[in-house]
Structures are given as C-alpha cells and as structure tokens.
Structure 1
C-alpha cells in the first residue's frame, strides 16, 4: 500500500516508517523541518516538508502522494519540559485543525482508511481498574487539562465519525524507549527530571499507569493500518502498575536516588488538579481487543523488562 504518515519524524513516526517499509509498503512521510528530510529518506520514506496547520499545503501534499491510508501522528511534544504548556497548546491545534485538514485532504483523494493517535490518560477516572475501548474521555476534566482533553475528543470524534473511509483511533499507553524522553540519553526530558529527583511521587502514587514501548506502539499501528476495523483500539503492555512502582523502577534503572514524595495538596496548589489526578486516580487500560482482533503481541509484555532492555 501507499501510506501517508503525517508526523513521520516524530518519536513514534520514526519507528512506524521502517516497519512499514520492511513490510513492503510505500511511505510518504511529513516533517515540519527540511533538516529532517535526510533522516526520513534514510528510514525508507519519501519525505515532504509541510505545515500541518496550512490546509492548502496539506491538501497539496496528500494529492501528490495519492495514498491509500493516512496515518495521523502529529504532535509538538519534542521540546524541553519547561515548555510543556506551549507544546501542549501546539499539539492541541494539530489534533483539531491538523486533524480536520488531513481528513479533508484524505476525502478528496479517496483514501480507504485514516489511522490516528490518541492516548488513554484523559479517560474518565471512574469505573473499574481496567478500562476497555468503551470508556469515555473524561466529560468533566480538571481545568488545567480541559483544553487537552477537548482536543483529543475532537480528534477521536472526527476520525471515528467519517463515513467515507475506515476511521481508526489508537489510544496508546505511556511511551518509553528511544526518542520518547524516557530513555538512556542523558538529556532526555522526563528521564532527566527523574535523574535529578525533580519528578516526585504525588500523594500515595496509587494511580495506575499503562505503558508501552515505542516500537511496540509502532507495530500496533502497522497492524491497524493493514487490517484494523473502524473504531478505537487500546495499545499497552500486559503489566499496568501503580505510578509509584513505575517511577521507583525508573529511578533505579537510571541510577538515581529514589524520587521525593510530595503531598497531593501541594501539587494541586502549584500545578493544578490534572497533575494530581494522573498520579493518584488514573485507571489502566486493557489491550485485549487489539490482541484478539489484529493478533498484535508486544515485544515487551512488561515495562519491567522493557526498562532494562529497551531504553536505548
């Protein structure tokens, strides 16, 4: 198949492209930076520089590529952690305006499927410990993350609501591994905070996190591209765990001192309710559907092994 990967130079895009090429697909990959075209070409993609917020540029790029499938992996989460709010705002635009531009372009050329990135973090923190694909995004999110949840809701509704092609959304677990910020590189974003003991355990750290190695997230995406059905798939490993266990293990793997513990009320006052809820109330997801329907199996079924073997 001929596949248009929007965001091909991003953390997951850099893993999706070579997996698609290895399986015999033709890949056109977008980047915002001309400096990254060589790297994309080295992965086997035909690179194209395009601003995803420019509808005419997106329409032109997709028309020239003539793809059968569009893969939406656009984010702007590649800067230092101190710019997180700015990166989140830029990503929200990519998940709203960028999504609309890709869908319009895809409809114009008659693609058969659109596969888009979402994540599980904003799911409603209620119900059982393990949430399947029927779980809704939080209808009443904390104020400090409301714009982020609204952007994901727009993306999910827009993609799964198309009638002219198969609209597929992947809600990924937390990424780790090369290019994600949770890796062995000394200057990696979240890893650097953990090494410096600047990423604390909030309250009891009892929220459940579902993790997935970036290469496993990519292989799940390839499975969805090749044989996915319209709708939502959850993508995570087999070992959801309390935040405190995951952060403590990360500190051990990085050779850092154990993280500090900070009362929830302190973080609520300084950073907002959203940061507290994801550390104390988040639920895990089950990936039984994608395993059953698409035969997906992660290389790293547990982050405990992946943190040791798959960080570089």
Structure 2
C-alpha cells in the first residue's frame, strides 16, 4: 500500500511513518523545508517538501496514494500572530488535504484531531467521543482551530471515506519540539524544584498513538472518532513517576489555581508586549488545565484494538531519548 503522511517529522507523525515502513508499506512523507528530519533518518521513505496550505504541493503528493494520514498541524498555546497561521494550517490545511484526497481518488483518509475537541469536561469528568466541545471558554486559538478542523473532516466524510482519531497526551521518544509534556519531563531532570498545576490529563505511549492511526485505517468506521489514550494522571503523579524512573529526588509543588492564573496573565502579557516569544505558561493553558483533559479511550481499545503500553515504559524511553539527544544537563543511567 502507498501511504502519504502529512506532518511526518513530528512526534506522532514520524512514529506513524516508522510503523508503516516496518510492515512494508510504500511511504511518502510530506514535510516542511525547515523541519527537523532526524526522526526520519534511516527509514525507507520518500520525502516530499511541501506545505498543507499550498494546494499544488498537496496535489502532487497525493498522486498514486491509497491512504492518507493527515497529522500536519501547529500545536501552540501562544503565537505572535495570535493564531492566524495556526488557523490557516490546522483548518484550511485540513480542507485542502481532504479536497485533494477526494480529487485524487484516495481510498481512505485518517484525520488526526485532538483531545482538545473532546476534553475539558471539568474536574472529575472524563471525555468520550460523544462529549461536546468544552474548551471554547478558554479562548484557546489552538483548541478552537482543532475543533473547526474536526468539523471540516466530519463534513468531508459525507462524500469520502474519512475516519478521525483524537490523540490524548503522547509520551515517548522523538519529541523534538519538545511538546509541553516533553518540557515537563526535561524539567524533572534539570530543575531543583518541579512546579505543576493540580490538573489531570490522559497520557499515552506515542507508539500506541501511531499504532492507533494504522488500526483506524484498517478497522475504523467512516466518519467516526476514536480517542487514543491510556491513563489519567495528575501532573504531580507524572512528575513523580519520571523521578522514580530515573532515581532522582526533587520536591514537587502544586501551584494553587489563583497563583497559576496570575502567573499566566503576567507571562502572556510579557510575551505579547515585550519578548514576542512563547512564555512557559499562558492564560489559555491555565484555563485548559483547570478544566482538565481526562479521557476514556475504551472505545478505541474495544473497536480498534488500541494497545495500552504502561506509561512507565513511555516515560523511560522518552527520558533516555532526551538524554541521548542532549536535552538534559546530566546523563541518565542505562
């Protein structure tokens, strides 16, 4: 099978590419010219330079493709243009990819949505695939863009075969960015005190998320959504597990919500008016954290056969990768 993967250099995307290659598929990877391609080294993959907002480059990449895995997106909780480019990529880029897939006669598209579409149901409540969009009140440009892209995919599914997957918090090797979760893990190994908010998020091994994409292509129902997750954990629990995996000791402090909101507003204002660089926390990030991103992924386990690798293994492999790639100040024990 010839498969096209957009966003192929990203944390989830490169694991999708790797697993497709491992099973012998013919893989085409669509990446940006500026992407860090270290995760694609050594893989038997056809790399195409392009942008999902450029219809011509997308159309060229679609030629002779059977299945498309559309993962390309901007994940950020602060941008200098207040999310304008993020919206072009996440929403209009999705529209272009689905349009060109239909025109090229692609058999199936697996669209990567997000826990942001379903999460935020409130403390003590777990999101499911039937949960309403709840993060609009946070005014998060990212969450709103992923909701709108999700709706584009649902609309396209009326005329073409589209199945939707919504990853929760992925953890594992290859987190080049790193993601916000990856940054927390790095801080667990570098900072003398680990400060977190008292929020709960569903975490999952990134390799299981990639496997979920392949399973959705094989077994998913057209126009249906599947949350790809595993285990709900507070950030304090996650940090504690990371310390346990590495044998390091450090105090973990949960910041009260009032203090977190003040810090978020201050850092967001500083970024907007002075530094013009992404701050450690933002007003939107704190608002999302207060609602929580707990989730129930049992549908994907039941209907797709989504694996449930222990988070401890994902943490260990992620931290070893960060160490090997020079993200940490000191080396970890083997």
Same fold (TM over 0.5): yes
Corresponding residue for residue 48 of structure 1: 48
Distance 1:253 1:37 in 2: 28
Q: How does 1:99-178 map to 2 (within 5 A)?
A: 99-121=94-116, 123-126=119-122, 129-138=125-134, 140-143=136-139, 145=140, 147-162=141-156, 163-178=158-173
Q: How many Å apart are 1:46 and its aligned residue? A: 1.1
Does residue 294 (structure 1) correspond to residue 304 (structure 2)? The answer is yes
The alpha-carbon deviation at position 39 of structure 1 amounts to 6.2
Name the SS of the counterpart of 2:185 in structure 1.
helix
Change beyond 3 A, Cα 1:109–1:197: farther
Structure 2: runs of 5+ lacking an equivalent: 266-282, 322-334
Superposition RMSD on alpha carbons, in Å? Answer: 2.9
Q: Does 1:270 align with 2:266?
A: no
- The DSSP-based 3-state class of the residue aligned with 1:210 is strand
**TM value normalised by structure 2:** 0.77
Aligned length: 294
Q: 1:209 to 1:222 in 2, by over 3 A?
A: same
Any stretches of 5+ residues in structure 1 without a counterpart? Answer: none
For each residue in 1:135-179, what CA deviation from the matched residue of structure 2 results, as whole angstroms up to 9, or x when unmatched? Answer: 122163213x1x212201111111122122222221111111112
Preserved contact between residue 176 and residue 182 of structure 1 (Cα < 8 Å)? no
Equivalent-residue separation in structure 2 for 1:86 and 1:30 (angstroms)? 25
CA contact (8 A) 1:197 1:260 kept: no
- Between the aligned partners of 1:294 and 1:110, the Cα distance in structure 2 is 25
Deviation of 1:70 after TM superposition, in Å, equals 1.3
Report the 3-state secondary structure (helix = DSSP H, G, I; strand = E; otherwise coil) of the residue aligned with 2:252: coil
Task: Judge conservation of contact 1:208–1:242 (CA < 8 Å) in 2.
Answer: yes
Residue of structure 2 in register with 1:85 after alignment: 79
